[in-house]
């Protein structure tokens, strides 16, 4: 991996050096790894004298990162709002597929724009002109740290913070199995550059709204066990959503996979929310990454599925009940749990 990283780092650096106008984006419902990657890379590129445009993408600014004042650095634009031919380089960070650039329209790249994909999701097939898919890295920000090291970049305090929050979030606060000694070592180096990370970590973990508590309650009330108690799903049908006069964004707050994963013996869990009639969003987790890989389930169910062994997601164009049955069928096909 190190040899490939060095090889790809040189190609990426050469493309950046040649570029004048560079585009960055955040994936839908951006997490700290998406935001942190964009902010750290944007600062580096601007230090090199590049003209950089960063866009938030399909959805708005995440409230758990409000202290970063994202509006100053990332424009409230979607991919379809951008005049793509004005850019000669598109750095696509933390996006496992083109649908992570936007899922509202077909993604096409103009001939004059070089595309570079930098990601750590193993479901990424590499759709750029240059692809650096580091599946052994904990986060995309982890990969960027290594690129900056190879490029002899002096990491500023703000860059260190942005890289740190991406690693923190994608390791579950350094709790997931992707938290290796190397990850802890890199995190310690970033924390030594900027030791003032506590407030933003607090915001990441403590930013719930009243509607989230309501949705959490509804989801927990509609949780069922399957496969002799090894599998559990919370299921919010569209009828439940409408009965409670919930908006599309409100309904998404009913995704509670991490709460479900906290239950002993629930080895595979999924949170299902039928956000629109015949459209169910699914978020999967497992307690046992040594045995189960929920990204395999996500890829086989619905559309645009993918993620990590321990955490993955997909969208199924069926109602909640049919989605449940499809998930159970795939889980049984792969792991024989029924």
Rg (CA), the chain: 20
Closest C-alpha among 303, 260, 263 to residue 281: 303
How far apart, in whole angstroms, are the C-alpha atoms of residue 99 and residue 101?
Answer: 5
My answer on whether 172 and 240 are in the same domain is no
Instruction: Answer yes or no: do 241 and 330 share one domain.
Output: yes
Whether residues 296 and 162 fall in one domain:
no
Same domain, 195 and 48: yes
**Buried-exposed string 226-253: b where 16+ CB fall within 10 A, e elsewhere:** bbeebbbbbbbbbebbeeeebeeebbbb
Both 276 and 180 in a single domain?
no
Number of domains in the chain: 2
- What predicted TM-score, i.e. pTM, was given to this entire model? 0.89
Whether 108 and 23 share a structural domain: yes
Q: What is the CATH number of the domain that holds 222?
A: 3.10.310.30
**Residue 194 and residue 321 in one domain:** no
241: domain range?
210-335
| The predicted structure's pLDDT at residue 1 | 42
Nearest of 130, 202, 124, 219 to residue 168 by alpha carbon: 202
> Which of residues 183, 205, 227 is at a domain's end?
205
Look at residue 26 in the predicted model and tell me its pLDDT: 98
Residue 155, classified by CB atoms within 10 Å of its CB into exposed (0-12), middle (13-18) or buried (19+), is buried
**Domain-terminating residue out of 164, 187, 205:** 205
List 276's β-bridge partners, or say none: 279
> Are 186 and 214 part of one and the same domain?
no
Do both 181 and 117 map to the same domain? yes
Looking at residue 47, what is its pLDDT? 97
Per-residue pLDDT of the chain (338 residues; tens, 9 = 90+): 454 788 899 999 999 999 999 999 999 999 999 999 999 999 999 999 999 999 999 998 999 998 999 999 999 999 999 999 999 999 999 999 999 999 888 999 999 999 999 999 989 989 999 999 999 999 999 999 999 999 999 999 999 999 999 999 999 999 998 999 999 999 999 999 999 999 999 999 999 899 999 999 999 999 999 999 999 999 999 999 999 999 998 999 999 999 999 999 999 999 999 999 999 999 999 999 999 999 999 999 988 888 889 999 999 999 999 999 999 999 999 999 87
Same domain, 235 and 201: no
- Give φ, ψ of 271 to 5 degrees: -110, 120
Q: By three-state DSSP, how is residue 256 classified?
A: coil
Q: Do 156 and 236 fall within a single domain?
A: no
Does residue 180 share a domain with residue 147?
A: yes
> Of 205, 240, 273, at which residue does a domain stop?
205
CATH number of the domain that 112 lies in? 3.90.1640.10
Q: How far apart are CA 270 and CA 283, in angstroms?
A: 5
């Amino acid at each position: 991996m190190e040899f490939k990283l060095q090889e790809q780092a040189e190609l990426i650096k050469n493309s950046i050096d040649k570029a004048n106008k560079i585009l960055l984006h955040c994936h839908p419902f951006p997490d700290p790894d998406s935001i942190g990657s964009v902010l750290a890379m944007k600062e580096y590129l601007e230090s090199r004298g590049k003209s950089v445009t960063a866009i938030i993408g399909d959805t708005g600014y995440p409230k758990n990162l409000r202290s970063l004042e994202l509006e100053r650095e990332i424009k409230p634009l979607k991919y379809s709002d951008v005049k793509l031919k004005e850019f000669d380089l598109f750095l696509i960070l933390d996006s496992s597929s083109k649908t992570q650039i936007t899922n509202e329209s077909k993604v096409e790249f103009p001939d004059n724009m070089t595309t570079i994909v930098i990601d750590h999701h193993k479901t990424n097939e590499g759709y750029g002109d240059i692809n650096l898919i580091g599946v052994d890295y904990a986060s995309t920000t982890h990969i960027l740290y290594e690129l900056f090291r190879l490029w002899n970049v002096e990491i500023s305090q703000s860059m260190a913070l942005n890289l740190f929050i991406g690693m923190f979030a994608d390791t579950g606060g350094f709790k997931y199995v992707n938290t290796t000694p190397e990850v802890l070592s890199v995190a310690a180096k970033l924390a030594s550059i900027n030791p003032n990370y506590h407030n933003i970590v607090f915001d990441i973990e403590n930013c719930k709204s009243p509607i989230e508590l309501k949705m959490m309650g509804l989801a927990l009330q509609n949780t069922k066990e399957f496969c002799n108690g090894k599998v559990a799903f919370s299921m919010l049908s569209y009828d439940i959503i409408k009965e409670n006069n919930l908006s599309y964004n409100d309904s998404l707050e009913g995704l509670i996979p991490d709460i479900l994963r906290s239950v002993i013996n629930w080895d595979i869990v999924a949170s299902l929310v039928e956000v629109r009639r015949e459209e169910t969003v699914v978020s999967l987790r497992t307690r046992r990454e040594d045995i189960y890989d929920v990204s395999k389930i996500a890829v086989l169910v619905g559309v645009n599925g993918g993620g990590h062994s321990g955490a993955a997601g997909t969208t199924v164009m069926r109602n909640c009940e049919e989605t449940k049955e499809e998930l159970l069928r795939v889980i049984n096909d792969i792991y024989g749990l029924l």
